[in-house]
Structure 1
């Protein structure tokens, strides 16, 4: 049973690669654990609601049961949603795959990335996450903001290195160092 669940809740990012063109994954970014903090607190609240069933008259115990079940299902769906959300950096592009039952994919070639803004709120600085905002040549794109990225500075440098190595941006205009004999 766990094999079926693990396959069901795996976004299968490798199926989106252009393997015959030599595309490889540089980094697969899962959501930072802070993205599921609120749903986890909702699950804890659902458990407390279940406990209150003990204090209700037997004919009305279904009320906290239904409330707790509804909240637990909602929180579980949000946790699964965050787990299925992946941001992938390849040698050719960046893309995002998300969705539980139906998947949505948004792609941006490295050549279209003009700027990456990294926003680290105070909690992000404390716990090591940030949000990416991509600016591209297109006015409206499906890949604009990626939230709850762990180690955002490191991931930003990874993208910058891939862009630089692919030759999409010119190198530095500084002269090469001379050998002093």
Structure 2
């Protein structure tokens, strides 16, 4: 018998151990008892077989000669979404300081009769707002001052026996009060309206004025609050559009400006989220009514 081919054995060869390690046979494991069986044939050929008899019996484990055990789901079972506990989503409901996130204010589901006539059937109503009561501060202050001044003047003139001037003072007071009532009525009919397509301002008692801007044309929006506005929770909205002339740009004295700003921005950038939230609130309301 001839000698094996290859380089002669050299005890001082520095690569001898590496070559022996690289050419060492890989031990195989018997799947039955886990013991090695040397260089015998592999336990299986081709892809790992499953226990096919186990597949029709619903969910459970099937034998897999490659990985041992494999989970087989029930093919007839309906999909069940994962159950998430309140503790797992607590971090989404509160910030790092433990404060709950701010939410937009709830609104009526249907527009008032004053607003409904200006909405077309395919747009979705989101809310309407009257201006903050600070909008009436000047006329109310004038009415109070006029009451005291003209009341004192009427009494003084009545004591001087000049009935004609007393009548003039009383008529002046009625005129001032009529102007104050007109301003209050104008404030009542003045509405800021938001839909899924546009923002509108409707005002006027005898002469109605309707100004609107499509949401798709709003390129920038901001609100401003003076120190008094921050204390009393009102602000001025400024809308910027791509057009040169705008029928609606500045809306003064709107209440809850931060919540209103979030609602308008959400309607501009996340309309699907608005629909999902409103749908969920409607389902909860129906469930409460059914209970």
SS at structure 2 position matched to 1:12? helix
How many residues are treated as equivalent by the alignment?
156
The question of whether the paired residues in 2 share the 8 Å contact of 1:46 and 1:68 is answered with yes
Separation of aligned partners in 1, 2:164 and 2:199: 55
Task: Confirm or deny that 1:55 pairs with 2:156.
Answer: yes
Q: Aligned-residue CA RMSD in angstroms? A: 1.7
Task: Confirm or deny that 1:153 pairs with 2:258.
Answer: yes
Task: Confirm or deny that 1:41 pairs with 2:141.
Answer: yes
The question of whether the paired residues in 2 share the 8 Å contact of 1:11 and 1:84 is answered with no
1:14 pairs with 94, 103, 116, which one?
116
Task: Confirm or deny that 1:26 pairs with 2:126.
Answer: yes
Change (3 A) 1:97 1:104: same
Separation of aligned partners in 1, 2:252 and 2:188: 13
Gaps of 5+ in 2: 1-111, 273-291
Change (3 A) 1:68 1:49: farther
The question of whether the paired residues in 2 share the 8 Å contact of 1:115 and 1:134 is answered with yes
Separation of aligned partners in 2, 1:47 and 1:150: 29
Higher relative contact order, structure no. (Cα contacts within 8 Å, ≥ 6 residues apart): 1
Report the CA distance between 1:166 and its aligned residue.
3.8
1:69-89 alpha-carbon deviations (Å, 9 max, x no partner): 222122222222222111101
Spell out the pairing of 1:19-168 with structure 2 (5 A cutoff): 19=121, 21=122, 23-52=123-152, 53-56=154-157, 57-166=162-271
| TM-score w.r.t. length of structure 2 | 0.51
SS at structure 2 position matched to 1:16? coil
Separation of aligned partners in 2, 1:25 and 1:35: 25
The structure with the greater share of residues assigned to helix is 1
The structure with the greater share of residues assigned to strand is 1
| TM-score w.r.t. length of structure 1 | 0.80
Gaps of 5+ in 1: 1-9, 168-181
1:147-176 alpha-carbon deviations (Å, 9 max, x no partner): 001111111110111111348xxxxxxxxx
The question of whether the paired residues in 2 share the 8 Å contact of 1:43 and 1:76 is answered with no
Report the CA distance between 1:49 and its aligned residue.
3.8
The question of whether the paired residues in 2 share the 8 Å contact of 1:49 and 1:67 is answered with no
